[in-house]
Amino acid sequence: MNQEYDKVMTEFETSLNPYRTEFQVHQSIPKTGQNHADLLTELETMKSREEIKWQSGFASGAVYHGDAKHIDFINKVYSLHS
C-alpha cells in the first residue's frame, strides 16, 4: 500500500512541477536573488515547453485566449503597469 501511495504522490508532484529536477526549487524566498540573465533563460525555456502544450489543447485555467495578437496586447498592457 505504501509503495502504491508513493508512486501516486510522485506522479502527482511531477505533474504539478515538471521542472523540479531541471531547475532550482525554492521552498522559501532565498536570501540572495538569482542572476537576471539566468532567470530569464529558465523562464524562456519553460515558456517554450509550455507553449507547445497549450497550443495543442492542453491548458490550465491560466490560459484564456491563445491568439498571438491578444497575447501581445496583454503583454503591452502588463508592461505599462509593472
Query: Which regions of the chain are under pLDDT 70?
Result: 60-65
7-24, pLDDT tens digit by residue? 999 888 888 888 888 988
Determine the pLDDT at residue 65: 67
Cα 59 to Cα 12, 34, 53, 63, 64: the distances in Å are 17, 28, 7, 6, 9
Determine the pLDDT at residue 58: 75
Determine the pLDDT at residue 60: 65
Residue 58 CA to residue 15 CA, distance in Å, equals 13
pTM value? 0.61
Determine the pLDDT at residue 70: 86
The answer to whether 23 touches 42, Cβ cutoff 8 Å, is: yes
Determine the pLDDT at residue 79: 95
Joined grid coordinates for residue 71: 497575447
